[in-house]
């Protein structure tokens, strides 16, 4: 269980952001998670305003797709909505790509329906599993199949594509096995397409990162989730305190270490990213890490600590990154 108290003040990083008058030049290529992209894009826009000679491009190909490019040496930063898995890590090793793993915010993965849906308010984790398990394919096709009190209406499903870290996390948290689910649903690595699908379909049920709900509140209805302790919806308090389970998770950027040391613009951008992540993540609809966590992440960046604090399992549910990062710091000392 992730038990954290939110902090709103960003710690000072050991690599302060350069002044607006610094003559930085170069280019930075970011790809990966659509969940993390709103933070990366917002920070990229802020950075480019101060350093117009630096080109920062943010693309979306899903967490898995992003790691494929990153571990092939094709990108500088990989946005990720789950930790790197063992296969991806091995691919990075084989290609000589070393990386620094940096958590940047929390996300409360959100389950949504069309605004006209007046029957679904809260779903249990067991009901979500019954909807999304592989054996539900072609079987759970009507809202009445979920709960007897629901109307006799067809069920339309929208969710993260198979190359998405959100898909990995959701299936691990809800189905119980990462990468296992029914496949008869509309899937995409682009959360904007999922928002559009749910917003246009009165029979829809979908899931994606909280920021995409937050930015489209007028088009979507957010459901609460009952994990055995009552119905809880994702928000700043429930996610930061670890109450919204099992769909609360940290989100990350991964930085190519060799390019970090070869490209001053990249080093400056990552320092700028960590400095502005608390406020920017909140502005785009995510939940900042605690002050303690940002301090540990900044120390990890300053010391250029390679690799992952996770075990290569990919989507891990209910893991405390405070404990992982703190124990790593103690070991280094």
Sequence-distant (6+) residues with CB within 8 A of 312 are: 83, 84, 85, 86, 89
Best CA proximity match to 188, nearest among 159, 227, 156: 159
Structural domain of 284: 26-107+248-332
**By mean pLDDT, which of 204-213, 239-248, 271-280, 296-305 is the weakest?**
239-248
Whether 8 has a pLDDT exceeding 60, the answer reads no
Q: Which of 233, 262, 290 is the last residue of a domain?
A: 233
Measured between alpha carbons, how far is 292 from 118 in angstroms, rounded to an integer?
41
Rounded to whole angstroms, the Cα distance separating 27 from 248 reads 33
Residues 6 or more apart from 331 whose CB is under 8 A from it?
none
Domain end among 233, 268, 286: 233
Structure confidence at residue 314 (pLDDT): 54
Counting the structural domains of the chain, the total is 2
Domain boundary among 233, 268, 291: 233
Per DSSP, the chain holds a count of helices (H) and strands (E) of 13, 13
Q: Tell me which H or E stretch contains 105.
A: strand 99-108
- Asked whether residue 8 is assigned to any structural domain, the reply reads no
* 310 or 264, higher pLDDT: 264
Do 126 and 203 lie in a common domain? yes
Do 172 and 208 have their domain in common? yes
What is the bridge-based pairing of β-strands 122-124 and 224-226? parallel
Looking at the structure, tell me whether residues 128 and 101 fall in a common domain: no
Q: What is the mean pLDDT of the chain?
A: 89
The average pLDDT across 186-197 equals: 96
pLDDT value of residue 309 = 87
CATH code, 68: 3.40.190.10
pLDDT recorded at residue 154: 98
Q: Does the residue 16 lie in any domain?
A: no
Same domain, 87 and 118: no
Q: Are residues 139 and 216 in the same domain?
A: yes
Q: Which is it for strands 231-232 and 224-226: parallel, antiparallel or unpaired? A: antiparallel
Q: Are residues 289 and 253 in the same domain?
A: yes
Both 145 and 177 in one domain: the answer is yes
For 139-173, what is each residue's pLDDT tens digit? Answer: 999 999 999 999 999 999 999 999 898 999 999 99
Question: Is the pLDDT confidence value at 2 over 60?
Answer: no
**Any domain includes 1:** no
Predicted pLDDT of residue 166: 92
pLDDT in tens, 204-226: 999 999 999 999 999 999 999 99
Regarding whether 228 and 120 lie in a shared domain, the answer is yes
Judged against a pLDDT cut of 80, whether residue 14 lies above it is answered with no
Does residue 101 sit in the same domain as residue 148? no
The answer to whether the beta carbons of residues 96 and 199 sit under 8 Å apart is no
For residue 10, is pLDDT > 50? no
Same domain flag for 221 and 257: no
What band does 263 get if pLDDT is binned at 50, 70 and 90? Answer: very high
Q: Average pLDDT, stretch 175-191?
A: 95
Q: Are residues 228 and 262 in the same domain?
A: no
7 inside domain: no
| pLDDT, tens digit (0-9, with 9 covering 90-100), for 125-137 | 999 999 999 999 9
225 and 132 co-located in one domain:
yes
Mean pLDDT confidence for 192-215: 96
């Amino acid at each position: 269980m992730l038990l954290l108290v939110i902090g709103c003040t960003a710690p000072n990083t050991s690599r302060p952001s350069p002044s607006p008058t610094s003559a930085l030049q170069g280019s930075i290529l970011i790809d990966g998670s659509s969940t993390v992209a709103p933070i990366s894009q917002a920070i990229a826009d802020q950075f480019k305003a101060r350093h117009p000679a630096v080109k920062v491009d943010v693309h979306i190909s899903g967490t898995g797709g992003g790691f494929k490019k990153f571990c092939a040496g094709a990108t500088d930063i990989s946005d990720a909505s789950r930790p790197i898995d063992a296969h991806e890590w091995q691919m990075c090793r084989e290609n000589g790509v070393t990386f620094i793993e940096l958590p940047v915010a929390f996300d409360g993965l959100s389950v949504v329906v069309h605004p006209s849906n007046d029957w679904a308010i809260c779903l249990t984790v067991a009901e979500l599993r019954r909807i999304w398990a592989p054996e539900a394919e072609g079987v759970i096709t009507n809202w009445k199949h979920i709960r007897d009190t629901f109307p006799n209406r067809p069920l339309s499903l929208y969710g993260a594509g198979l190359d998405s870290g959100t898909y990995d996390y959701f299936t691990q948290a809800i189905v119980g096995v990462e990468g296992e689910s029914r496949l008869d649903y509309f899937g995409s690595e682009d959360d904007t397409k999922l928002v559009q699908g749910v917003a246009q379909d009165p029979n829809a049920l979908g899931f994606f990162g909280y920021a995409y709900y937050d930015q489209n509140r007028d088009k979507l209805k957010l459901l609460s989730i009952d994990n055995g302790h009552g119905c809880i919806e994702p928000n700043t308090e429930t996610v930061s305190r670890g109450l919204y389970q099992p769909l609360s998770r940290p989100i990350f950027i991964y930085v190519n270490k060799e390019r970090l040391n070869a490209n001053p613009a990249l080093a400056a951008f990552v320092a700028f990213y960590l400095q502005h992540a608390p406020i920017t993540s909140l502005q785009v609809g995510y939940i900042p890490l605690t002050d303690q966590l940002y301090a540990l992440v900044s120390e990890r960046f300053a010391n250029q600590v390679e690799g992952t604090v996770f075990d290569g399992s990919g989507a891990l549910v209910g893991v405390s990154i405070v404990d992982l990062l703190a124990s790593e710091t103690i070991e280094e000392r």
